[in-house]
Amino acid sequence: MRLRVEFTTEPFDLDEAPPHAVVAREVVHSADLDAVDVGPFGNTAEGRAEVVLAAVSDLLRRSLDAGATRVSLQVNVVGEGQE
């Protein structure tokens, strides 16, 4: 099974990425994911279910430890015929 996660961390800072956002991005970039798209208002990552779930767990722990007050995420199953 393949999963896609979309996530944001808060609080936002439009001038520079806060530490919790930097940590979250480091987590997804260092995971063995098939696709990562990092943007100013949202991020997506896609890969095998076990890799995505492990990355989400790490992302939650590390971004909260780095000062995030909210982490919003959505996880979708993707695959043949699903987008």
What does DSSP say about strands 35-38 and 2-10: parallel, antiparallel, or unpaired?
unpaired
Average the pLDDT over 54-81 and give the result.
Answer: 93
Condensed to tens digits (0 to 9), the pLDDT of residues 5-61 reads 999 999 988 788 899 999 999 999 999 999 999 887 789 999 999 999 999 999 999
Mean pLDDT of the chain: 92
What pLDDT was estimated at residue 11? Answer: 93
AA identity, residue 15:
D
pTM: predicted TM-score of the whole model, two decimal places: 0.87
What pLDDT was estimated at residue 71? Answer: 96
SS3 content of the chain, % helix, strand, coil (to 5): 35, 35, 30
What pLDDT was estimated at residue 13? Answer: 81
